[in-house]
Amino acid sequence: MRIAINGMGRIGRLLARRLLSLEGIELVAVNDIMEPENLAYLLRYDSVYGTLPMSLSYIDGQIMVGEKRFAVFQQGDPVKLPWAELEVDIVLECSGSFTHTSSSGPAAAIHLRAGARKVLLSTTGSPDLPLLIYGFNNHLLTPAVDIVAPGGCMTNCSTHVLKLLDQPGIESAQVNILHSYTSRQELVDAPHAPYRRGRAAAESIIPVEIDLAGSLERLLPALKGRIATVSTRVPVANGAMADFTVQLQTSVTAGDVNALFRQAAEREYKGILEYTEEPLVSLDIKGNTHSCVVDGTLTSVVGRQLKLIAWFDNEYGYTSRMIDWLFYWKKLII
């Protein structure tokens, strides 16, 4: 299966690194407006995941990594990209610029017009795009679907947790995602809307508004009007901790809840959800491929109110699900 990536930010670059080591998938091209030499440098050296353990160079419009190579484009208008000529099966749309829909259709369809067969976003996308969470509603992906929004890292963590907690029944839920700072924040204080995102990301704990509740209501309609979410950005470069406060409909013990998640991690959500009773901190989760790692040591129940904590690597865990989607889609279109 032939893959191209549009947008080489944090997710695009990590995907490129990972795709180069996968069998059955060939990275044939990437597109970003940055200078190709700068892109090659950022692919080679990464402050979170370390130096790529193989040679990498940019020569004559191509990046060569070991014995593999892929084309590099600097095209601001994706419709001009040679996806048809390169016989691209799926474009990973990681620029964040083509997630909306207008009267003329989904913006991401620009890659279809350029000749790609399918498009996988790296975010939730607009409400009229299929929102498919791997391991939750895979069955909705059919050969007729051309553009998929696989949610974000927070959605992929929260969906599975809330789906399982709906077994004892959820009256209401508050979710706080303690998340590493991102590129949409500032390194030093600067003008920004909203104001808090303009404060120095490495110096403060910064609450930010997120659209997670809307995504979860789309996926779990029974929770509509009964869930609230916020993200608290903390001064680390990687990793996240999801803090769920859930009012349950029935009485359970912390042991009951832990048993539920332990079994799910071994059965229906194996490879997607992990359960641990190790005394983890955020750094321990770096490079973890799961969408969420439920920490049984922090589960507590007071009355019918449950506190549950789940860790996740917001970059590595999320790109793992995007890769899962590639192999799942491959079965339908190849």
Active site residues: 153
- What Å distances lie between residue 145 and 149, 198, 303, CA to CA? 11, 38, 45
Distance, in Å, from the CA atom of 250 to the CA atom of 257, rounded to the nearest integer, reads 12
Asked if residues 286 and 151 have their Cβ atoms less than 8 Å apart, the reply is no
The structure tokens listed for 157 are 């963590």
Contacting residues for 195 by C-beta, under 8 A, at least 6 apart: none
Distance, in Å, from the CA atom of 301 to the CA atom of 308, rounded to the nearest integer, reads 9
Asked if residues 249 and 171 have their Cβ atoms less than 8 Å apart, the reply is yes
